[in-house]
A and B are shown apart, each in its own frame.
Chain A
Amino acid sequence: MEKLRRIAKPVSHFVIVAFLWLGVQLPAAQAGIVGTEAIVNSAQAEQDRQHVAALLERVDVQEQLKAYGVSPEQAKSRVDSLTDAEVHTLAGKIDRLPAGGDSALGILFAVFIVLLITDILGLTSIFPFVKHRR
């Protein structure tokens, strides 16, 4: 855990620099034309939001959220206020987890998701790799 904490800072710095660099790399928009990249990225953002929203609809996830004293509505409104990039990170992390059915693994999966979401929302602070906004 301590070790994780120690590497968290350089890693987060790297991510920030990488994002800034990406920003610089975006080509200047041609006058009057909406570029394909912007269109595809907003399609991606829409899908990510639907993906996360669908997870928050899951009964097991909602139960876990309540167990941690977070109402599902509260969680939902926090997710709504995240930027596209943040939602994309969240959706990406979720995709990397092994999929859970209704087995014991499924319960762990739900707990894991809830902690990840509450962490990103700043309600908990368990994962050192989650960068807090306050």
Chain B
Amino acid sequence: MFRQGPPGSLRAVFLASTVLILAACAPLQSDRLLKSPQAFPPPVELTGTPFFPQEDFQCGPAALATALNWAGAKVTPEELVPQVYLPERHGSLQTELLAATRRHGRVPYVIEPRMETLLAEVEAGHPVLVLQNLGLSWFTRWHYAVVIGFDLARNEIILRSGRNERHVMSLQSFERTWQRGNHWAMLALPPNRLPASAEETPYLQAVTGLERAQHWQEAKIAYEAALSRWPDSVPARMGVGNSLYAMKDLPGAERAYRYITLSTPSFAPAFNNLAQVLAEQGQLKPAEQAARRAVSLGGPLEATYQETLQQVLDKLAAPAKR
């Protein structure tokens, strides 16, 4: 507690008014966008996006099937129902859409909550799966749909939505429903395609989920795509090495780790992983050298480095057994 502050009720009123004012002051992004016709991007409609009409309450599976099939994963809404649909809630949770996307070897990326970002992704050719609240904040009707186009000069945004293959809304009505869905929107991309708005760390976090789902080949392609945009990204290159290691391509993994030990000689995990792949290939002396380097650099993972070094030393001490 702080001592000199105003009493509790006053504070509550202050807080409430702050929050209300902040909310009320937030103007529609669409209004700002529509004010500058000279900056309008050309109209886009991704007509090649497939369409799966929705059954009953199952907009989640239908919207996800739309996005996944566009990304080249052959899957029907019926197949997705057991993965993302919760019968007792008559709906799907966002995290499950993300997880199901990974399970199909595609990269789920949650975009920034801005209209400009959403339109930029559509312009880049990526359908955007959005969460809308078609009701009100106190009477919710959640809905998932896929934005596939827009025409700012005509104030139109085009969606695959429910049973409607080409649902047209004004930007403002769309934005209000999207705003009430907390501006949540995701892409489901093939691993060789980066979101137009991708930021390095959030994108790599999305890719580590593919590793977790054991889609190593896709993860490797996605890390390589990340390297093409951020050539100096140490985590992306570690990802390439780790995916190759998981696929038992030890020389490939060794190359990736070694590259980092040369470009970023202060990065201990690269030395540790290099030591491990060298040891597994029987190059125990160089492995010991790399492991000692990792230990001397230290850091929060020092215990792991110590363990790696110990394993290498054990192997060195008992070569006859191998």
Contacts and interface: CB of A to CB of B under 8 A. Distances in A.
Interface of A: 1, 25, 27, 29-44, 47, 68-70, 96-98, 105, 108-109, 111-112, 115, 118, 123-127
Q: In terms of DSSP, what is the predominant structure of the interface of chain B?
A: helix
Contact of B308 (A1, A32, A42, A98): A32
Given A32-B307, A32-B311, A126-B11, A37 B208 contact: yes
Contact of A39 (B2, B5, B269, B275): B269
B16 interface: yes
Given A32-B311, A36-B242, A1 B16 contact: yes
Nearest to B267: A39
Contacts of B208: 35-37, 40
Contacts of A38: 269, 301
A127 B234 CA distance: 38
Given A32-B275, A40-B204, A44-B205, A112 B18 contact: yes
B3 A69 contact: yes
A34 to B, nearest CB: 4
Given A68-B5, A69-B3, A125-B1, A33 B201 contact: no
Contact of B211 (A25, A37, A42, A111): A37
Nearest to A1: B12
Interface in B240-277: 242-243, 245-246, 269, 272-273, 275-276
B235 A43 contact: yes
Contact of B201 (A1, A40, A111): A40
23 contacts: A27-B212, A30-B246, A31-B276, A32-B273, A32-B307, A33-B242, A34-B304, A35-B208, A35-B242, A36-B238, A37-B212, A39-B239, A40-B208, A41-B205, A43-B204, A68-B5, A69-B3, A105-B25, A108-B21, A124-B1, A124-B5, A126-B11, A126-B12
Nearest to B253: A33
Contacts of B12: 1, 126
Contacts of A29: 304
Nearest to B209: A37
